[in-house]
Structure 1
Amino acid sequence: MDFLSSMSSLPLVNGGRSRAVTGENPKGEKGAGGKEASNLGPSRKGRPCYPLVKAGETVTLCDIEGPGVIQHIWMTAPGKTNDQNPFVLRDLILRIYWDGEEIPSVECPLGDFFCLGFGQGYHVNSLPIAVNPNRGMNCYFAMPFHKSARVTVENQNELDITALFYQFDYTLYDELPKNTATFHAQWRRQNLTEKGKDYVILDGVEGQGQYVGTFLCLSALERYWWGEGEVKFYLDGDKDYPTICGTGTEDYFGGAWSFASYPEGKCVETTYQTPFLGYPYYSVKDGTVENPYHDDSCPPMRSFYRFHIMDPIRFSQNLKVTIQQIGVSHRGLFERQDDVSTVAYWYQLEPHKAFPPFPDRFSRWPR
């Protein structure tokens, strides 16, 4: 049964039943959308969002009985609550649970899940993730579930979030193939990497599945070119050496030669976005804070995505993914220490192991 949407499968009628969970239809019920009344009257935009997420509160946005597949997620939230709490996109925690799980399969700051790093809002134009003006966050990863799907958001900001908008578009089926894997995403950070020791993007994955994407945020804390680190995939019992070892950071994200271009003879680092590989964000300024008493200069902030849609990394027993922190200068290659955070995206057959303890709020804030 072809239950995943693609251009080639659109003409095939497969018996699926389309539904959507929104503020206007919180349970995704058939014929039950838009019942709430507004000042315009009944069924006139009466509840377009989750109106209030209190500080410290966890709300359930979506609780679906399956089998089914979430095929599109759209969300948006305020960028900040005030100048003292400017990183809402890192203060809101997205968690997704499949088939009655007690531990999440997705645990990630809301912004980073949608490739928005550093608590910033900017445009992302890839195939599975798109962010449009203004913080219109979209995800097209297919997310199957055999029995149920539950999506929560926790507000760890000091203040209430006065409007959280969302839509989960999904299809219900009578059954899914037994070998259908579930979607996972995990956020990690080291605000100072260890010299000579590879940063771990993902570890502790056991079972069968395929790795489908990496989102990386890097704040450069040392001089010179920072992107010589190689991405390594340790597959199915690899110990000292990985089966797949790349050739450098900019190479893994589809660029080359330090992302350099030379307009008018001057070397310029160039950002770009394509369906599967991108460098959407570069800044040395914090765009979230407006404070005349403080300089908003920051260490250079860069974010990158690579989605293994056409080239998934398949594993049958276990998986570990790392990246080196290596730079180069006039003196040659050298080991670096930088501030790195990542999101790993993958599918695997359940059960999955519990994720590492999630970092506290201020440990997630950017420099």
Structure 2
Amino acid sequence: MTASPLPVSRLRAVRTRSISPENFDGSAGGGGRATEGTGAACARDLGPTWKISPSVDIGPGETFTLAEIDGPGRITHIWITTHKDNWRTLLLRAYWDGAEEPAVEVPYGDFFCSGWGEFSQVSSAMVAANPHGGFNSYWPMPFRTGARWTLENLSTVSVRVYYQITYELDGDLAGSSDEGYFHAQWRRSNPLEYMKTHVLLDGVTGAGHYVGTYLAWGVNSNGWWGEGEVKFYLDDDEEYPTICGTGTEDYFGGAWNFDVPGQGYTAFSTPYLGMPQVIRPDGLYVSQQRFGLYRWHVPDPIHFATRLRVEVQALGWRSGWRYLPLRDDIASTSLFYLDRPTTNRPPAPSADDLEVHLGAAPVPDLGAQPPRHPA
């Protein structure tokens, strides 16, 4: 269950394992045995058990398998780090129970609330980004027969990645029907079509609950940008949503433009919601304001029985006391649990789709493309 963690004092018949470059298969007693790896030269006078293999190198265009786990279990923690230049050139994927299609397909940085390639402290209950790029996820991720995590390098250079994935082996999950599969999808509108909404999720079928949103929002015009409503279309909803908020700033728990008088936009990070990224123009090459915002629906998951669609408006506020639709750059990561390991998803993003530089040519609007159907 995602609504509350298991009591820390409760004794359970599970076994803890961990996969890292020091123990690629998570085997019992398998750590610290490496005789070759990225740290071999540094440990040449020390030998095995002395940090021979702390990281992996992923070549351009390569996909590396971070972890492959057999049997029923639950991922409980992910720690990972790489240089910030790689945060939008790596694509993170997760597959559950032998599925050929991923349940998670998200740019590395966006998954950890760091979509702009610049570090900001994130101090939430589910995701923490710590100096200088130590990324952590505490989303529980159960599986019944197996799990596989991969990292694809979309860049033209080799990248070095350090990571550790901790999980439980839990036989009770094999026959469990009340724990959903963890899903994460990414979409970007750059720029958003005029008078159109940015789609976060579409075509999700099955029963489940929505648990999280991260938005990397780039503002392309002057004025206030956060009046747009976040809308959840549940089950039989068609033209009108069941859940309709009062504005983007309100959905993320803020108010009045996130503007503390005398300070302007003010970053904040709390257990379940925040705006940790406030990237301001520098008077030279960084010409636009950019923001990173998250909200975790852990105490308040949004439940659906058959279908789910989520969208947000890009709506500004102008002089003359009127609203104005905007054409901003919006990239969204949506997190949810579902009763099946695959569902409809958008096309996999390319390196051009992930471009973070504001001066880049507009990329296709992924939210407007038809979803990819699971195999």
TM-score normalised per structure 1:
0.91
Paired residue total: 346
Q: Deviations over 1:155-181 (max 9, x none)?
A: 0111111x2111001000112122221
- In the alignment, which residue of structure 2 is the partner of 1:338? 328
- The equivalent position to 1:62 in structure 2, one of 60, 67, 73, is 67
1:284 is the counterpart of 2:280: yes
Aligned AA for 1:166?
Y
- In the alignment, which residue of structure 1 is the partner of 2:206? 207
Q: Deviations over 1:247-306 (max 9, x none)?
A: 00100000011111113xxx61211111001000111358xxxxxxx9432311111000
1:268 is the counterpart of 2:264: yes
Aligned AA for 1:66?
G
Q: Confirm or deny: 8 A CA contact 2:97 2:341 kept in the other structure.
A: no
Alignment of structure 1 residues 43-58 onto 2, 5 Å: 43-50=49-56, 52-58=57-63
Alpha-carbon separation, structure 1, partners of 2:248 and 2:3: 32
Aligned AA for 1:258?
N
Aligned AA for 1:144?
P
Q: Confirm or deny: 8 A CA contact 2:95 2:341 kept in the other structure.
A: no
1:3 Cα shift?
A: 11
Q: Confirm or deny: 8 A CA contact 2:63 2:150 kept in the other structure.
A: yes
- The equivalent position to 1:34 in structure 2, one of 29, 32, 35, is 32
Cα distance change on mapping 1:189 and 1:4 into 2, 3 Å: closer
- The equivalent position to 2:131 in structure 1, one of 105, 130, 133, is 133
Alpha-carbon separation, structure 2, partners of 1:282 and 1:71: 30
1:317 Cα shift?
A: 0.3
- In the alignment, which residue of structure 2 is the partner of 1:107? 105
**Larger displacement relative to structure 2 (350-359 or 215-224):** 350-359
Alpha-carbon separation, structure 1, partners of 2:265 and 2:4: 37
- In the alignment, which residue of structure 2 is the partner of 1:171? 168
Alpha-carbon separation, structure 1, partners of 2:341 and 2:116: 31
- In the alignment, which residue of structure 2 is the partner of 1:355? 345
1:90 Cα shift?
A: 0.8
Alpha-carbon separation, structure 2, partners of 1:105 and 1:356: 11
1:119 Cα shift?
A: 2.2
Alignment of structure 1 residues 63-212 onto 2, 5 Å: 63-80=68-85, 88-161=86-159, 163-176=160-173, 177-212=176-211
Alignment of structure 1 residues 247-266 onto 2, 5 Å: 247-263=246-262
Cα distance change on mapping 1:148 and 1:4 into 2, 3 Å: farther
Aligned AA for 1:322?
E
Alpha-carbon separation, structure 2, partners of 1:69 and 1:337: 41
Q: Confirm or deny: 8 A CA contact 1:103 1:354 kept in the other structure.
A: no
Q: Confirm or deny: 8 A CA contact 1:4 1:142 kept in the other structure.
A: no
Alignment of structure 1 residues 284-303 onto 2, 5 Å: 284-285=280-281, 295-303=284-292
Q: Deviations over 1:52-106 (max 9, x none)?
A: 21101001010001200000000001122xxxxxxx1111000000000100000
Consecutive unaligned residues of structure 2, counting only runs of 5 or more, are 36-42, 359-375
Alpha-carbon separation, structure 1, partners of 2:177 and 2:144: 9
Alpha-carbon separation, structure 2, partners of 1:351 and 1:172: 18
Q: Confirm or deny: 8 A CA contact 2:210 2:297 kept in the other structure.
A: yes
Aligned AA for 1:44?
W
Q: Confirm or deny: 8 A CA contact 1:17 1:171 kept in the other structure.
A: yes
Alpha-carbon separation, structure 1, partners of 2:247 and 2:309: 18
Cα distance change on mapping 1:269 and 1:284 into 2, 3 Å: closer
Consecutive unaligned residues of structure 1, counting only runs of 5 or more, are 81-87, 287-293
Identity %: 42
- In the alignment, which residue of structure 2 is the partner of 1:289? none
- In the alignment, which residue of structure 2 is the partner of 1:237? 236
- Runs of 4 or more above 6 Å deviation: 2-5
Alpha-carbon separation, structure 1, partners of 2:3 and 2:146: 18
**Larger displacement relative to structure 2 (173-182 or 88-97):** 173-182
1:207 Cα shift?
A: 0.1
